[in-house]
Structures are given as structure tokens and as C-alpha cells.
Amino acid sequence: MKKLYFLVALFAMFQPTPAFADNLVDSYAARLGRSDHFNSYGERLRSPAAIIRQDRANFHVFGRIDPEDESDSFFVSKRNRATLESLVRNSPLSGDVLDEIVNGEPLVEITIWRRDSGRDYIEIKILKY
């Protein structure tokens, strides 16, 4: 019997340990239109995070909604909108996607993820231009 317990314990030691899981927080589509590229003072925004943040403020606060914009529950909160810079910093985003956000008016799909490790991030996919 001791031999069986030993074998079970030995087997358990060599089982793969689960990696940190990514948990879906929210996902939505939005057109990053002309009004999303300017702040409340009329100044041109130059970072992808600032443009996405303005898009969500336009949607949730100012009622400036592009026809293709979808609602989300995460960025309703001003506090959560303030995290956009760190979300983008923690994200594996290509230069092409970032460039298109700053210089174009793409339709994007944004997915917010929460890692068990505590480092949240977003995925941004360009759906169409």
C-alpha cells in the first residue's frame, strides 16, 4: 500500500502545473472616428490609448456615438478609462494597429483581459477601415 501512495505522489509531482489563466472582462466594437481623435479642448490626440479613451468618454459621457459603436460595461467607469495607458502598455500590439488608430478611423474590436497574475491587457483587432 505504501508503494501505491508513493507512486501516486510521484506521478502528481510530474504533472504540468496550470499556467496563469486569462479571463475575459469585456469586448466591444467601436469606430474610432474623427471626434475620437480630439480631446475636449479640441487638441489632436497622438496616442492610441488616448484615442480609445476619448472614444469611450464620447460614448458613455458625451453621447457622441458613431453608428458602429457598441456599448461596454468596463469603460463606463471613469476610473477604468484612466487605466487605458497601462492596458495598452501591457498589450502585445503591432505597430501597424497602433499606427492605424492614430492616423486612421478604423472599426476596431477591443477585448479586455484580466490575468490571474494581475496584469490586465487589451487586444485590438482592426475589423475594417
pLDDT tens track for 97-126:
999 999 999 999 999 999 888 788 999 999
Could you tell me the maximum CA-CA distance found in the chain, to the nearest angstrom? 77
Q: Do the domain assignments include residue 95?
A: yes
Q: With the C-alpha atoms ordered 81, 122, 111, 101, is the resulting torsion angle positive or negative?
A: positive
pLDDT at 96: 93
In a domain, 72, yes or no: yes
Evaluate whether residue 54 is within a structural domain. Answer: yes
Does 13 reside within a domain? Answer: no
Residue-wise pLDDT for 48-70, tens only, equals: 999 999 999 999 999 999 999 99
Size (the chain), residues: 129
Question: Do 78 and 46 contact (CB within 8 A), yes or no?
Answer: no
Among 17-21, 45-49, 122-126, which stretch is predicted with the lowest mean pLDDT?
17-21
More confident call, 104 vs 10: 104
| 5: confidence class by pLDDT, cuts 50, 70, 90 | very low
> Domain residues for 47?
20-128
| Residue 124 and residue 93 in contact, taking contact as beta carbons nearer than 8 Å | yes
Residue 38, Cβ density class (10 Å: 0-12 exposed, 13-18 middle, ≥19 buried) = middle
In a domain, 70, yes or no: yes
pLDDT of 38 strictly over 90: yes
The pLDDT-based confidence of 3 (bands split at 50, 70, 90) is low
> Is there a domain that residue 8 lies in?
no
Q: Is the separation of the CB atoms in 115 and 20 below 8 Å?
A: yes
Cell, residue 122: 487589451
- Number of domains into which the chain is organized: 1
Domain membership flag for residue 87? yes
Q: Where are the alpha helices (DSSP H) in 1-129?
A: 2-13, 48-57, 78-81, 84-89, 95-103
Flag whether 14 is in a domain. no
